[in-house]
């Protein structure tokens, strides 16, 4: 009776699973569930005042002298510790393993939010992973060693890979999905040419691994049912080994569902299996919606499955490969624009070379090398060749196109148009491609439609950088670049990736606005915190003209000037009463002491300008002496914005100066908790006494003014 009932239920299930509508309803339901879920506020189980934590090491990474521990007890907390001595680092590697129960002493802190508009929000990123706090560690103590057999096996695999002399970085990437040990410069090159996704474990890797396992199990006469069962067990462990990355989850779940579909004769279509995979993945974690890996993996897979008939129209392998590369590139464009603000058109052709090379050569050889270590040197040789070719290609900037960051409506329009184009193209209506081309062109030139002046004080910590964007793309002016002093370290302390204000803040921000070149970079004076990123900026972004002051130049200014001469970049020297005219917008240079002072701060270029009857005074690092000279020589009053000199130092912003210019807003570029104790309390008191509205980058993050014809809009990055 039960057997008959079971057969009837199975038959009913098969009938339901043949309806396409069922899957559409299921996907809509899970997307609504996920969107509701991610909008419900989550709270930490910690108070944030803890000074001692206990838990097991979920994961850890060592980069130079920096140790990052993912500590798990009530929830995951990311701890950071800095080794004082190389022997301490070696002792930790020797004695501490994954799963070990430890005690750490230190202080809790909140992750940082983005302080520059459009850029990566670390706090939100961690929140989506259920991580609410960071922990500054001052002492670590081991309580007991790991006893979990699965964690022990994971650690043994990591230790085994670490013994490889040449190719361990790529073995970690291909076997356990960890790319953190690959050189930062190499990863940057991969991103520029658009092949980073090939180093994330995905369907390609899972397919090959499962194929090998099934083949081996079949050879040793394991029956089909047990074969698949053993492969499923392996996939569950592999998901654990790769920290349940979304791409591995997708590929593994899809394989499991496909195998069940095949063995139980459900006859479910591939696209419906994909929908089931999506539903299962989001049920596991709705916050995967915000994961870049999830977005790339599912979007590309969805369109490749949906338009399989388009690919199968052509029999030659090269044409199929080209079509797959085209589809993958086109559907990933909106995601690339949203996260990275640029695409590389050449990546279509580059992927045609790299996909077969990595799929058919490098990844299989990595698996063989993992089993037979003597092949390490051969694998290393191929890796070096790949890295060299990537370096050469990444220097070809002809295919790189910058787009302003699209909003969700624009992204939705992109996918509607892309789907329509593929659908029509599949019906041999090639003209439909013109709709996508038109959309891309409109997006590309969208920054030319801005009808306002955009003035932003960019948060560059204890430094200064001011961006002015004129309407209709008439000009982009950057005043100073910020700069972060790099302390010389012993080789064992050096990090894989060093933070650069130009590469990590300024350039990404420019790109997010659709800025493709800086028309004028104005260097106010020769201190590192104002111009230290000059060479980095010019080396990695198009800068047409650079303006220096006409005083005695500092050593780093001279180095920058020599660099510009070598690069054949136009550079000029401005002084008091010079005027820069850009499309009718005038910038007046006011410093009367410029030619007579040897003080770098007092030699700062002081700039006065006016946008829609709103005047701005940008003062560099001048002292009260220069301020007094300016108000005596120029009739400046009822100022709209004063960029406070010298980060709010007591040497500037005198009472008489404020009374004369009478500003409405005061902007102070200053680092949080800086060693100079800027801004000085007396300066703040002077501003507040006059009811001047103060904005500081240390509190408000970046500050943006949009000067429209009839109104001005003020935005701060941190509210």
Residues 27-38, mean pLDDT to the nearest whole number: 93
pLDDT digits (tens, 9 = 90+) for 504-527: 999 999 999 999 999 999 999 999
pLDDT, position 615: 96
Quick one: tokens of 194?
A: 């658009």
Give CATH superfamily name and number for 448-485+494-716: Ribonuclease Z/Hydroxyacylglutathione hydrolase-like (3.60.15.10)
Quick one: tokens of 499?
A: 């933070």
Residues 553-579, mean pLDDT to the nearest whole number: 92
pLDDT digits (tens, 9 = 90+) for 290-310: 999 899 999 999 999 999 988
What does the H/E/C string look like for 327-382? HHHHHHHHHHHHHHCEEECCHHHHHHHHHHHHHHHHHHHHHHHHHCHHHHHHHHHH
pLDDT, position 15: 72
Taking 80 as the threshold, does the pLDDT of residue 49 lie above it? yes
pLDDT, position 661: 96
pLDDT, position 662: 95
Which phi and psi angles does 510 have, rounded to 5°? -55, -50
Taking 70 as the threshold, does the pLDDT of residue 8 lie above it? no
Taking 80 as the threshold, does the pLDDT of residue 40 lie above it? yes
* Distance, CA of 615 to CA of 613 (rounded, Å): 6
Residues 592-597, mean pLDDT to the nearest whole number: 68
Q: How confident is the model at residue 13 (pLDDT cuts 50, 70, 90)?
A: low
Residues 489-511, mean pLDDT to the nearest whole number: 89
Distances from the Cα of 708 to the Cα of 142, 175, 272, 280, 518, angstroms: 60, 54, 50, 48, 22
Q: How confident is the model at residue 553 (pLDDT cuts 50, 70, 90)?
A: confident
pLDDT digits (tens, 9 = 90+) for 96-140: 999 999 999 999 999 999 999 999 999 999 999 999 999 999 999
* Distance, CA of 658 to CA of 653 (rounded, Å): 7
* Distance, CA of 501 to CA of 483 (rounded, Å): 7
Q: Is the distance from CB of 135 to CB of 53 less than 8 angstroms?
A: yes
pLDDT, position 493: 84
* Distance, CA of 586 to CA of 611 (rounded, Å): 9
pLDDT digits (tens, 9 = 90+) for 331-355: 999 999 999 999 999 999 999 999 8
Q: Say which CATH architecture domain 52-146 belongs to.
A: Beta Barrel (2.40)
For a pLDDT cut of 70, what percent of the chain falls above it? 97
pLDDT digits (tens, 9 = 90+) for 181-235: 888 889 888 888 888 888 877 777 888 889 889 989 988 888 888 899 999 999 9
Residues 564-573, mean pLDDT to the nearest whole number: 95
Taking 90 as the threshold, does the pLDDT of residue 283 lie above it? yes
pLDDT, position 10: 64
Taking 70 as the threshold, does the pLDDT of residue 3 lie above it? no
Who wins on pLDDT, 268 or 664?
Answer: 664
CA atoms within 13 A on the CB side of 544: 9
Q: Is the distance from CB of 671 to CB of 462 less than 8 angstroms?
A: yes
Which residue do the tokens 């909008």 mark? 39
pLDDT digits (tens, 9 = 90+) for 644-700: 999 999 999 999 999 999 999 999 999 998 988 999 999 999 999 999 999 999 999
Which residue do the tokens 């002084």 mark? 575
Q: How confident is the model at residue 7 (pLDDT cuts 50, 70, 90)?
A: low
* Distance, CA of 483 to CA of 502 (rounded, Å): 9
For a pLDDT cut of 90, what percent of the chain falls above it? 75
pLDDT, position 498: 82
pLDDT, position 484: 80
Quick one: tokens of 321?
A: 């490969």
Helix (H, G, I), strand (E, B) or coil at 595: coil
* Distance, CA of 142 to CA of 94 (rounded, Å): 12
* Distance, CA of 670 to CA of 647 (rounded, Å): 5
The whole-chain average pLDDT of the chain stands at 92
Taking 90 as the threshold, does the pLDDT of residue 428 lie above it? no
Range with the poorest average pLDDT among 258-272, 368-382, 568-582, 593-607: 593-607
Q: What is the dihedral of CA 102, 103, 109, 113, to 10 degrees?
A: 0
CA atoms within 13 A on the CB side of 236: 7
Gyration radius of the chain's alpha carbons: 29
pLDDT, position 397: 77
* Distance, CA of 132 to CA of 74 (rounded, Å): 11
Burial 331-354 (b: 16+ CB within 10 A, else e): bbbbbbbbebbbbbebbbebbbeb
Which residue do the tokens 């002496």 mark? 625
What does the H/E/C string look like for 529-585? HHHCCHHHHHHHCCEEEEEEECCCCCHHHHHHHHHHHHHCCEEEEECCCCEEEECCE
Distances from the Cα of 225 to the Cα of 260, 263, 434, 545, angstroms: 10, 8, 50, 70
pLDDT, position 5: 64
Closest among 635, 686, 629, 685 to 661, alpha carbons compared: 635
> Which residues, 6+ apart, have CB-to-CB distance to 394 below 8 Å?
188, 189, 192, 193
pLDDT, position 597: 66
pLDDT, position 1: 58
Q: What is the domain partition of the chain in residue ranges?
A: 52-146, 168-405, 448-485+494-716
* Distance, CA of 346 to CA of 338 (rounded, Å): 19
* Distance, CA of 682 to CA of 652 (rounded, Å): 10
Q: How confident is the model at residue 490 (pLDDT cuts 50, 70, 90)?
A: confident
Residues 389-405, mean pLDDT to the nearest whole number: 89
Q: How confident is the model at residue 569 (pLDDT cuts 50, 70, 90)?
A: very high
């Amino acid at each position: 009776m039960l057997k008959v009932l079971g057969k009837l239920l199975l038959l009913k299930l098969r009938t339901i699973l043949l309806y396409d509508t069922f899957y559409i309803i299921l996907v809509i339901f899970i997307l609504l569930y996920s969107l509701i879920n991610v909008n419900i506020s989550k709270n930490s189980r910690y108070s944030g005042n803890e000074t001692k934590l206990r838990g097991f090491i979920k994961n850890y990474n060592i980069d130079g002298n920096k140790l990052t521990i993912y500590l798990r007890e009530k929830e995951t907390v990311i701890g950071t510790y800095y080794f004082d001595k190389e022997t301490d680092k070696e002792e930790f590697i020797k004695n501490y393993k994954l799963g070990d129960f430890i005690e750490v002493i230190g202080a809790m802190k909140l992750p940082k939010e983005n302080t520059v508009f459009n850029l990566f929000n670390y706090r939100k990123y961690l929140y989506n992973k259920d991580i609410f706090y960071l922990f500054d560690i001052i002492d670590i103590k081991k309580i007991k060693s790991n006893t979990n057999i699965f964690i022990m096996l994971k650690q043994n695999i990591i230790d085994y890979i670490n013994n490889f002399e040449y190719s361990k970085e790529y073995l970690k990437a291909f076997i356990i999905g960890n790319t953190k040990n690959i050189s930062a410069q190499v990863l940057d090159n991969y991103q520029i040419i658009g092949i980073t996704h090939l180093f994330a474990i995905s369907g390609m890797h899972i397919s090959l691994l499962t194929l090998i396992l099934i083949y081996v199990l079949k050879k040793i006469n394991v029956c089909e049912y047990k074969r698949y069962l053993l492969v499923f067990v392996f996939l569950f462990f592999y998901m654990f080994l790769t920290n349940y990355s979304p791409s591995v989850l997708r590929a593994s779940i899809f394989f499991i569902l496909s195998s069940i579909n095949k063995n139980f004769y459900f006859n479910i279509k591939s696209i419906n299996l994909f929908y089931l995979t999506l539903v299962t993945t989001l049920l596991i974690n709705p916050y995967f919606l915000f994961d870049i890996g999830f977005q790339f993996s599912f979007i590309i897979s969805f369109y490749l499955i949906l338009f399989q008939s388009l690919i199968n129209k052509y029999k030659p392998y090269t044409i199929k490969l080209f079509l797959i590369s085209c589809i993958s590139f086109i559907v990933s464009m909106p995601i690339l624009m949203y996260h990275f603000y640029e695409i590389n058109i050449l990546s279509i052709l580059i992927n045609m070379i790299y996909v077969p090379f990595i799929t058919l050569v490098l990844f299989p050889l990595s698996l063989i090398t993992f089993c037979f270590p003597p092949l390490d040197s051969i694998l290393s040789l191929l890796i070096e060749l790949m890295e060299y070719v990537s370096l050469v290609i990444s220097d070809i900037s002809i295919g790189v196109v910058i787009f302003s960051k699209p909003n969700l409506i624009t992204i939705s329009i992109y996918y509607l148009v892309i789907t329509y184009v593929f659908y029509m193209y599949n019906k041999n209506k090639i003209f439909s491609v013109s709709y996508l081309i038109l959309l891309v062109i409109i997006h590309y030139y969208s920054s030319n439609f801005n009808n306002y002046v955009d003035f932003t004080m960019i948060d560059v910590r204890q430094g200064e950088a001011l961006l002015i964007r004129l309407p209709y793309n008439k000009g982009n002016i950057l005043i100073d670049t910020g700069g972060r002093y790099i302390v010389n370290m012993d080789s064992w302390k050096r990090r894989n990736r060093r933070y650069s204000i130009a590469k990590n803040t300024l350039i990404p921000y420019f790109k997010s606005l659709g800025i493709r070149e800086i028309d004028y970079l104005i260097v106010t004076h020769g201190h590192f915190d104002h111009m230290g990123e000059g060479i980095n900026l010019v080396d990695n972004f198009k800068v047409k003209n650079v303006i220096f002051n006409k005083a005695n130049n500092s050593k780093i200014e001279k180095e920058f000037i020599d660099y510009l001469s070598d690069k054949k970049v136009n550079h000029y020297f401005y002084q008091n009463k010079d005027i820069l005219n850009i499309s009718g917008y005038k910038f007046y240079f006011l410093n009367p002491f410029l030619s007579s002072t040897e003080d770098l701060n007092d030699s700062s270029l002081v700039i006065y300008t006016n946008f829609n009857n709103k005047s701005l005074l940008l003062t560099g690092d001048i002292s009260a002496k220069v301020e007094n000279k300016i108000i005596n020589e120029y009739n400046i009053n009822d100022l709209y914005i004063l960029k406070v000199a010298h980060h709010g130092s007591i040497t500037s912003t005198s009472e008489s100066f404020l009374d004369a210019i009478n500003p409405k807003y005061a902007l102070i570029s200053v680092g949080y908790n800086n060693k100079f104790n800027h801004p000085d309390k007396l300066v703040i008191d002077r501003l507040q006494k006059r009811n001047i509205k103060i904005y500081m980058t240390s509190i408000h993050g970046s500050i943006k003014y949009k000067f429209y014809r009839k109104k001005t809009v003020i935005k701060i990055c941190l509210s």
